[in-house]
Every structure is written in structure tokens, then in C-alpha cells.
Structure 1
């Protein structure tokens, strides 16, 4: 498998503007996604995960939002500089996105077939007959039975799991090199969630499509991803392989997220939760953004913002003063 990066995000900063000034929602984050890799981005609501994905797609609403700094390199092209016309060519062809709620992503007034065929015709020079045939093949690829009958049906006639499979078929119809999945299983029940995750893993293996899986569910990460980025208040606080994150988490926030997962082997009266809430974007102007909720906090944390420190042995990145001694000398 070719491990060259399909996506490189460098010092990306996305802000929203209000009457009180500039509010940074994503604050100078950097990461890569390799060809054929599944990368997880995790964190609580309000940590900047979805803003990161919308920034990569250049779908941040302007106003009030704007990419204010950094670079996004997709297949060797810095798309921060790309025009809207160029982005329309890139979306679907080179990069595609699956949104959280399939019912709001599909147009209720058009059949599934109309919407799939339109997605193919916009990006490919094909006849309507060829686009119809490809649409049926894509529905079969994502495991939908009676594909030709579904082409004539409307979104409300399908279950939530079937609609999500249609969205995946639509996203993959032009064979993009990168697929962004923003909480694709949140609105689905547990059985259907497992089926969708198995489907995405299977499609990743068959088509070698790189996937960014955005989620707050560490179970999804364990099931699907190879590498994980943990975000908090617009910054990356930890990055490592899935195995390292689960066996040896180093940032207090990651440790807290893992402690909050219920253990079926232990009976507890009260489940653990990290005290406090994610701060509002822009509200922490000095020190570590997790300091107010951290049980290991000390004076330095409240006055200085820790850098992202790389462990020289295992490539584990952590934004915390507790790991300063582990950095490369």
C-alpha cells in the first residue's frame, strides 16, 4: 500500500467573527492523512472537529467564518488558495464527505436514483444510461439489496441505515482519494452502526480510499481507525496510533475520555465523567486550555500554553508539560 500523504494540513486556523471580535474555532493544527489510511479525530462537542472537516472541504460559511491561516495540501495542491470553481471540481472527484444526519443530506423531493445520477453527471462526462448503471453498481457495493428498485424510491421510504448507505454510495461514486465521515453513525441504532462501520472498513480495503473518521465515540475509533488525533478547544492535544492511545494515553484529557467509557465487567453506582465543560472558543487566552478541568494542573499550566511534544521513541505527540522529559533530546 502506498503510504504517501493524500492530505497535509499545516498550521490551519479557522475563525468566526462576531460583534465581540475574532473567535478562533480551530487554532493552528497540523496533521497528515496517508493514502489508504483511516484516521480518527476525537473529542467532545465544541472541540473543533467538524470545523476542521468543513475547513478541509472549504464549506465554512462566509460570513461569519473564514480560514485565517495555514495550508491544506490535497494531492500536492494547496486548496486554501483554490477558487470556488476549482473547489467544485475537487469536491466529489478528489475528496468527499458524509454528514451526520442522512435525512437532511438527501433531497426529499427527488428519488435516490435522480440524486445519485446527478452526482455522477456533475463530475464525469457520461451518458445518463452509464450514470444509471454506475449508480446501481454503487448501491450494490454498499450492500443495499434490490438496488434498481431503490433507485426509484424517495428518501422517506428508506430506513436510517439505508439512507446512510446511499450517502456513502453517493460520496464514493466518483472514487475520491479521501473520504471525510463526520459522525456518520450517531443517528443510527447500535446494530446498524456496526454494519456501517464494517462497510466503511470493507470499502477502505477494496477501494484504498483514505478516510477521516470524526467522532466522539472511542469505540468507533477502536473498531475502525489506525491512527488517532485527540482535539480539545480547537487544538490537537494528542496524536498516536490507536494501540498507543488505548494502552498508553498520556494527555490528561485523553485519559479522562478513556476513563469515561463504561466497563461491562465492573458494577459502579456512578460513571466517571470529566468535571466541567469545554471552554467557549476564544475564552482561554492564557495557559493550557484544559487546565481548568485537569486533576494534574500546576502553576505553569495556568500561565503558559504547552507545545505539542513528540516522543522520540514511538512518534507519540502530546501537548502537556507532564511529558516534557520524554521529548527527544
Structure 2
């Protein structure tokens, strides 16, 4: 992706929620880039900040109590984190679109599929005639592999299967040819056969339109099958970033290693499946030290008193762990003072 143009840049993004206990950062100074035509995954357990990151990009963080409190979200060089709601409405669906986790709660049960796709078109193409809108809606339904597209326009969400509803959501998201598509757990609650079809469809549409895709998931199988690069998040921070090959062949952060060990392997018989001990800490509960230290088998006294930086092993691989520093990792291009072993 070195030669590809950056379409989305996230710089020091902090999204906080305010309560009686004060400010709590759910996304804590996150940095990453998304390139044209790339499929980038953000993985991690529930509560690690994946969905809040995607909602921040879309300008959909509920306010109050949530608010972007620091950083930039650059879409083709423009900082959309400073845009007003009126300006964001012009961006959503047109330049950047999102597929939400559960299509049954995202589609309005009171309106037909045709009504909802037409609305997505007309928001950004007010001069289009009814015939143009209908033709575009039928074209998109066919593009995502739905049969009898013209009949589906007159049906309601409850008349469709889960896989069909998810395809409708993808059609709605792509109807205005956005430059960036955010897929937030797009295969949740779908059976494995439909999941494979949806992932294949996303890859095909990515190839056809060169749309950059940000895939939010907790499923490493989805990552291996679909994505080129991976960002691993834990407790609101990026703890590892690498290509898919590097993540699976040479993971560096203990949390990433734990996630990979937790994936069932049909080649070997095991009495019990590995699981990372403990739970993701509540946002804001870890005031000092590494946020993974309480669950990490390699933790030292230093991990409990000092927060590790995001060390660079190479131009494509970073890890937030002191073990990487001992291997000669660097911070911001500066070599570690610790000699490489």
C-alpha cells in the first residue's frame, strides 16, 4: 500500500464520554491511515473501542455524553472532525458510508426497501427523476446479488432473510459510490454460508470500485480471508499494527498472540480452547501502566508503572509492548536504547 494514496488519516484521535465520574476516553489517541482500494481491519474484544472509532469517523458519536476531544480525522485532506452536522450530512453516504452490525435495527420496518434506498440516493442527487432513482435502486440490488430486484423494492425488511437484509444495507451504503466504506461487524448473526457470501461480495465490490474498506470485527477468520492490514485495539488504544501476514506469522503483542491462540484449529485435538484470562478493563479504570498488564503472562513491575509506547519494528509493523523495545524496536524512527537481542 506504499504507492497507494491515503484516503483517510486518523491522527491522535481521542473520543471521550462525560459522566459524574468525569471524562473517560473510550478512544485514546489512536493513529492509522487507510489507502485507496485497501481493506483494513480493526480487531479486538467487545469494549476495546472499535465501534466508537468508526462512529467518530462518521460523526455519529451520541452527544451528550460523547465528544471528540482531540485529534484529526482527515478525509482526502479535510478534517471532518470539525465539520458541523449540516456539513457531515453532505459527507455521509456520498464520500463515506457505513454498514451497521444488525440490519434489522438499521432498516426502518415501516418503509419499503425501495423507499429507503431511494432516500439514500435523493439526499445527494435531488435533481434525479423518479425513474432514474428506481433504475439506480434496481441496479444496486442486482449488483449485490439479490434476485427479483424490482419486486424487492416493494417489500419490507421483515419479509427478507438476514443475509438479504445485509445485502440491502450494502447496496444502500454503496449507492452513491463512496470513497470509504466502514463495515462494522457486517457478518454478525449470519450463518457461515451467508457470512462467506457477504465477505466475497465486499471483496468483489472493493476490487470493482477501488473503494477503501475499514472492516470492524472480532473474528480473525474474517481478517485472514478479507483484509490486507490489521490494527489490533485494546482498552481504547492501538496495541499492534501490521500486515495480515505479519500478524499471523509473527505477532508481537501478547494480546494479539492471545487472540490468535483463541481461534479453534481443526488440525489439532484439544481438551479445551485457550482463552485470555480476565476481562477488558472499564474505560478510564487503568490510570497508570500497560492496560493489558493484569491479563498478561509476561508482565513485569515496569508494565504496572509505565505505559509503553507504540514501538516500530519495521515500516509496516508496530507494537505497544516493552518486549518489542528489548528486541530493538524504535519510537518515532529513533532506535531503542536497549540493545537488540
TM-score with structure 1 setting the length: 0.98
**Number of the residue aligned with 1:306:** 308
How does 1:1-329 map onto structure 2 within 5 Å? 3-124=4-125, 125-312=127-314, 315-324=316-325, 325-328=327-330, 329=335
Which deviates further from its counterpart, 75-84 or 49-58? 75-84
Residue 123 of structure 1 aligns to a residue whose secondary structure is coil
Conserved 8 A contact 1:121-1:128: no
Detail structure 1 runs of 4+ shifted over 2 Å in the superposition. none
What whole-Å deviation, never above 9, does each CA across 1:176-199 have from its counterpart, x for those lacking one? 000000001011111100000000
| Distance in structure 2 (CA, Å) of the matches to 1:123 and 1:170 | 13
| 1:315 CA drift (Å) | 2.5
Q: Which runs of 5+ in 2 are unaligned?
A: 336-341
Root-mean-square deviation (CA), in Å? Answer: 1.0
| Distance in structure 2 (CA, Å) of the matches to 1:80 and 1:113 | 32
| Distance in structure 2 (CA, Å) of the matches to 1:321 and 1:122 | 49
| Distance in structure 1 (CA, Å) of the matches to 2:267 and 2:214 | 31
Q: Which runs of 5+ in 1 are unaligned?
A: none
| 1:80 CA drift (Å) | 1.2
| 1:128 CA drift (Å) | 1.5
| 1:268 CA drift (Å) | 1.3
| 1:23 CA drift (Å) | 0.8
**Number of the residue aligned with 2:339:** none
TM-score with structure 2 setting the length: 0.95
